[in-house]
Structure 1
């Protein structure tokens, strides 16, 4: 998806493969993009795509707690090593941009799932009473919560440097 218009696209399954791919293409490209995912995976920020034969998860808006610091420390250390290795490999006068993309999207995702389940039940022809009997609801308060969670999830950080 992301590489559809790219000159070179490399499919990767791990941060190590992403680093290796970036190190291989940097010398021959004016622009290279890679996305390290181990931290996002550990934080539960990545939602796997649901297949059509998969049962819908129970609707909840409670977010699981983040992993303990002891679990995150090696992941953060690896990310730091990967970024340092990539920076070292860059030619001089190269822009190095690190963008987090977003902050914690889990509450937004849960609220979206709740809204979609409610709307799907109504679109399937069920009456509001039948939908409520299924334990599904969507209120103005939920809509405000979704707006707030979406705004929070959109926030990210960017670090920009020029390789000397």
Structure 2
């Protein structure tokens, strides 16, 4: 095995998707396996069938800007049922729970400062064939998650190891 840098792992995610909650378990395991050598980037792909997914993507963008993106994403996905009922209010509550400036998250949702970022992710996702979540892209390969995560982590590891040489 060489010391070649690891390819970046993109997780195309939707924060009202129950399967994305499961995908975070794989991401956590991969981070434990590879440590800081593996860069995992969240990419937004809110689906129209979930009415709060777009706002959740905007709020997550603000959370990453404030340096607490992954804890925020995990906390939102842990409260899917609450999000369905409470929408933006829940997004702001979760922000406070994970130590973000909740007022700033609320303001970001109102002023739409992350709209361009979310729209760009959606456009790029469509361009590379993302149709649902979770979807992973690593070393130029798209791996679709969805309801069956069986063997997905192993396939990601195989791509990482092949890229290492």
Of structures 1 and 2, the larger Rg is shown by 1
- Greater RCO, CA 8 A, separation 6+: 2
When you count strand as a share of all residues, which structure comes out higher? 2
Question: Do both share a fold (TM > 0.5)?
Answer: no
**TM-score normalised to structure 1 length:** 0.22
